[in-house]
Amino acid sequence: MSVASSKQPPQQGPPPGAQPAGAPPPGPARPAPYPPAPAPPPSSAAAHAADLERQIRRRSWIAGLAIVLALAAAGVALYFALDTRDNSVTKDELPKLIQKEQSATTTPTAQFQLATVEPYSRLGGLPGRLN
């Protein structure tokens, strides 16, 4: 055997690790087609305690928010109650108010009378001639 016959012929093509020509550049890895699996339950007492602490903190924030909203609603209700009491009619004012309301509904105002008479005056007596 000769030394020339033991040599391998040189390979044609890109060196190892190089991209072939025309191939797209390597990009980020594709995301997983499914969401990741949920975390396993805590296996130690410390992990369990940390999980309980997170739940208690979250519930405390929710309870605090509910208390603030309840106080705001109570304040609005109190404001409306006091405002209604200040603007209400007393027993002494009630008969005067009823009489004023009855007189306003039985006698038309001057503006209403003018609005009903004015269109006929513009017509120059036309409604009377139509009969």
CA gap 37, 31 in Å, rounded? 14
CA gap 85, 61 in Å, rounded? 36
Mean pLDDT throughout 73-84? 93
Q: Give the residue among 63, 43, 66 at the shortest CA–CA distance from 55.
A: 63
Confidence at 70, pLDDT banded by 50, 70, 90? very high
Question: What value, to the nearest 5°, has the Cα angle with vertex 81 and ends 79 and 84?
Answer: 105
Residues 6+ apart with CB under 8 A from 51: 42
Does 127 or 83 have the greater pLDDT score? 83
Predicted TM-score (pTM) of this structure = 0.38
Residues 6+ apart with CB under 8 A from 120: 127
